[in-house]
Structure 1
């Protein structure tokens, strides 16, 4: 169990740090470090305040240590005492408005940063424009006492990637920041990038432990693939390989009785269902003039229904302060009437599992299956994908036989399920663990860097 210490700044001495006796047991300390900065200091034993570390003001100033009254962790290694972690949350889309520094995402980040005392970390927001490479400092945005403040602090112990979309991720200047901080400063960087649906499928399909969760999926190549899959499954989905929020998804259904093809999709805030006498007519009308090279074809599943509406499930997993995977949120999503997806913007509704299942036994059985799948696939993604993964949002289906199917894995999961009043405790837990994992990474990078940077 890691311990947190109150950090105090004192005017009374110079180049001095007072520490509890327990921190002086393993190594003779000569330096204090905060983020990537360190400073020589004399370490004296703290006689009265057992849970406090007192830093002289000149040392605190040299380290750019902000006096935010946040209890922190302390890691001693090779003569240096590291305070923190200092967690940089990297994003883009900053505005010039002090009350809304990241526009519509300001409230989310305020809530994320507000778990700092619970976790024992100092988190701040930054973008490429806030970095001073010559000084090794960042003008970070801190959410402190219910307002936003800017402090100049060192480069962080760990970076949590919260870039908002693929477009920002592709910008060269943002790639350069990530590469430079990782390679030149050996700063662990977690949750990089966005998952590509086809890439995830191809990497996981050979993993025997979890391949049975994967619906048959192919990049679009010809009408004949769709025809064959319609014959096998009755319906298929066409999805953008890099899509999100359910945009651009089409369901194609073949009715054997009347011999017609149907297409369900959404356009201009309206759910549509159209009928065609052949697949060629359907494709020629619905996808006229559009390239299908960035689409995939996925097996349709006969899902559980509630009130005649299809259901899928959102399960969140997070790594915790011990580097272990946890299921941190679970919810059901009910499709809107006539909608091809369960997204709220398409008329979908969020339900708790208690609202969905009539008996506790049914709910417990479903949650056990979904949780087992989520934890297994989290570990499989970690084995098969590049970078350090700390959180995943899964979209699962349960078919009428109770089999679990993976529809999508999201490296930066949306948070619409947390608008449901009974899911707010999950909201807090996912935010808490997304920063608690930074404590694990910071300690590992200090004590066992070979495990992080192998």
Structure 2
């Protein structure tokens, strides 16, 4: 890396990930390449660094950059970053003691900023939202699954429920439960598979609980009030938003996409059969142009309030998150999920803006250090 480029760069930004003995580092390489290119185009020096190589007491650290042919990566020496963009790819890596120790050291370091230090926990998200009058109206009733008694209590309150792993991602492990007391097999449990779902019917709560215990396998789960989502041709959809901080350090909606559930899926995730839709085309067909505009405006305002409340609850610095919001059949808004390590959006305009905003916020952090 030439000194000339380092001198010309506005600032030094590192993408943080973990070491991989066979592939050098973990994470989505294409995403990292696009982030590095966007940063370079905006005048920043950007590289990938692993937790292992990030030596905070050194002036220079070993990092990775795409080679000139863009088909491989090479290791070089870079200046210590001013801002660290945390992209540690999974919870298992994040939970390792050496990783948590390094993140803590970064958060306490006087000369650098790290934001989005940790993955969110689903139960905590709903707990944080319920603490504010402004945001609690958008949160479905959510409880920890503590055994058959806790499930029974929720069934008495809501005959339509979702069971979700507290630390799940991309729809893994989600189940949908309906209780129809007039039917001989009153409990209907839909279990999400890769692209479709399996339905299990039970006459008694005990039989149902046997199956749920087997599926959850001791992992921590939440039970959540089910919401009848607006659907098109029998396929429910929700809204996927990206919210990022701007160069003024304020939360702003970068873009809104819609995700429609696959015909046999109980979630809207694309890897599980969902499809990408344009909310600006989808909503007017359901609600009319005027109401659709009002809904999108409400969605944007809600997302910013929710992001602020999540950051308040988390008590650590955040710079971006993706969020799933849904509309019920009467057009009311509901919050389902937020992710502190957003996956890249497929919509080109949202993707372009999202890359620029990463660096706008880094600039804000550096200027306000």
Q: State the TM-score, normalizing by the size of structure 2.
A: 0.90
Residue of 333, 357, 378 corresponding to 2:307: 378
Aligned counterpart, 1:413: 342
Does 1:436 find its partner at 2:360? yes
Q: State the TM-score, normalizing by the size of structure 1.
A: 0.74
Answer yes or no: is the 8 Å Cα contact 1:237–1:251 preserved in 2: yes
* Separation (CA, whole Å) in 1 of partners of 2:290 and 2:228: 22
Deviates more, 1:281-290 or 1:294-303: 281-290
Would the alpha carbon gap of residues 440 and 339 (structure 1) be closer, same or farther in structure 2, given more than 3 Å must change?
Answer: same
Q: Secondary structure at the match of 2:329?
A: coil
Aligned counterpart, 2:208: 282
Aligned counterpart, 2:135: 210
CA positional deviation for 1:255:
1.7
Aligned counterpart, 1:116: 39
Deviations 1:133-153 (A, max 9, x none): 664311222347663444322
Aligned counterpart, 2:318: 389
Answer yes or no: is the 8 Å Cα contact 2:60–2:78 preserved in 1: yes
Q: Secondary structure at the match of 2:28?
A: helix
Answer yes or no: is the 8 Å Cα contact 1:219–1:293 preserved in 2: no
CA positional deviation for 1:122:
1.6
Q: Secondary structure at the match of 1:388?
A: coil
CA positional deviation for 1:427:
0.8
Would the alpha carbon gap of residues 176 and 223 (structure 1) be closer, same or farther in structure 2, given more than 3 Å must change?
Answer: closer
Aligned counterpart, 1:183: 108
Residue of 194, 198, 201 corresponding to 2:126: 201
CA positional deviation for 1:275:
1.5
* Separation (CA, whole Å) in 1 of partners of 2:236 and 2:301: 22
Does 1:136 find its partner at 2:65? no
Which stretches in structure 1 are left out of the alignment for 5+ residues? 1-63, 73-83, 446-454
Would the alpha carbon gap of residues 103 and 380 (structure 1) be closer, same or farther in structure 2, given more than 3 Å must change?
Answer: closer
Deviations 1:326-372 (A, max 9, x none): 10121111111232211122211111113423243343222112111
Would the alpha carbon gap of residues 288 and 141 (structure 1) be closer, same or farther in structure 2, given more than 3 Å must change?
Answer: closer
CA positional deviation for 1:65:
6.5
Aligned residues: 363
Q: Secondary structure at the match of 1:160?
A: strand
Would the alpha carbon gap of residues 271 and 373 (structure 1) be closer, same or farther in structure 2, given more than 3 Å must change?
Answer: same
* Separation (CA, whole Å) in 2 of partners of 1:289 and 1:437: 41
Which stretches in structure 2 are left out of the alignment for 5+ residues? none
Would the alpha carbon gap of residues 95 and 360 (structure 1) be closer, same or farther in structure 2, given more than 3 Å must change?
Answer: farther
Would the alpha carbon gap of residues 382 and 307 (structure 1) be closer, same or farther in structure 2, given more than 3 Å must change?
Answer: same
CA positional deviation for 1:104:
6.5
CA positional deviation for 1:429:
0.9
Aligned counterpart, 2:246: 320
Aligned counterpart, 2:146: 221
Answer yes or no: is the 8 Å Cα contact 1:271–1:346 preserved in 2: no
CA positional deviation for 1:224:
3.9
Residue of 154, 158, 181 corresponding to 1:233: 158
After superposition, residues 83-122 of structure 1 pair within 5 angstroms as: 84-94=10-20, 102=25, 105-122=28-45
Aligned counterpart, 2:298: 369
Deviations 1:294-346 (A, max 9, x none): 11110011110111011111111000111111101211111112322111222
Answer yes or no: is the 8 Å Cα contact 1:92–1:163 preserved in 2: yes
Answer yes or no: is the 8 Å Cα contact 1:95–1:103 preserved in 2: no
* Separation (CA, whole Å) in 1 of partners of 2:7 and 2:274: 41
User: Greater CA radius of gyration, 1 or 2?
Assistant: 1
Answer yes or no: is the 8 Å Cα contact 1:392–1:413 preserved in 2: yes
Answer yes or no: is the 8 Å Cα contact 1:325–1:375 preserved in 2: yes
CA positional deviation for 1:121:
2.0
Q: Secondary structure at the match of 1:115?
A: helix
Deviations 1:173-221 (A, max 9, x none): 2223223334354421111100001111112211111111110000012
Q: Secondary structure at the match of 1:130?
A: coil
Answer yes or no: is the 8 Å Cα contact 2:16–2:85 preserved in 1: yes
Q: Secondary structure at the match of 2:200?
A: strand
Answer yes or no: is the 8 Å Cα contact 1:336–1:346 preserved in 2: yes
Aligned counterpart, 1:360: 289
Deviations 1:265-286 (A, max 9, x none): 1246541112211222122134
Would the alpha carbon gap of residues 235 and 174 (structure 1) be closer, same or farther in structure 2, given more than 3 Å must change?
Answer: same
Aligned counterpart, 1:67: 4
Choose between structure 1 and 2 for higher RCO, CA contacts under 8 A separated by at least 6 residues: 2
CA positional deviation for 1:90:
0.7
